[in-house]
């Protein structure tokens, strides 16, 4: 999953990795990607238009949005696995068994 942003693409590896990590992007791209990561239902046409006006093509924007969504899903998956590991390692409060 971590290699997702490393393939060929129009947006370039550095931008795709930044979107995947939700780090190091300049505005207005950072605003769009942060919304995708934290509040996807709040993305509006104006967010897309602002990123387009900054020079990114629709294909590049699509790549960044997909990388951001996959990156957030990967982070949530990692947290869920950590919680599961913790729960499985904890003793059963009723029987005292692991």
pLDDT, average across residues 17-37: 97
Angle formed at CA 62 by CA 8 and CA 46, multiple of 5 degrees: 150
Q: What is the value of pTM for the model shown?
A: 0.82
CA 81 to chain centre: 17
CA distances from 20 to 8, 15, 25, 37 (A): 15, 9, 11, 9
Confidence of residue 73 (pLDDT cuts 50, 70, 90): very high
Q: Does residue 85 lie within any of the structural domains?
A: yes
Q: Does residue 52 lie within any of the structural domains?
A: yes
Q: Does residue 83 lie within any of the structural domains?
A: yes
With a cut of 60, say whether residue 33 has pLDDT above it.
Answer: yes
Domain that holds residue 59: 2-89
Q: Does residue 95 lie within any of the structural domains?
A: no
pLDDT at position 91, please?
Answer: 77
Q: Does residue 98 lie within any of the structural domains?
A: no
Q: Does residue 35 lie within any of the structural domains?
A: yes
Q: Does residue 9 lie within any of the structural domains?
A: yes
Q: Does residue 63 lie within any of the structural domains?
A: yes
With a cut of 60, say whether residue 75 has pLDDT above it.
Answer: yes
- Number of domains the chain is built from: 1
């Amino acid at each position: 999953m971590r290699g997702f942003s490393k393939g060929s693409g129009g947006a370039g590896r550095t931008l795709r990795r930044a979107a995947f990590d939700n780090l190091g992007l300049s505005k207005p791209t950072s605003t769009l990607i942060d919304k995708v990561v934290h509040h996807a239902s709040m993305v509006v046409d104006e967010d897309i238009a602002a990123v387009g006006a900054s020079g990114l093509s629709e294909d590049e924007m699509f790549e960044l949005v997909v990388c951001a969504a996959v990156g957030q899903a990967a982070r949530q998956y990692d947290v869920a696995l950590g919680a599961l590991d913790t729960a499985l390692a904890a003793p059963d409060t009723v029987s005292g068994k692991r």
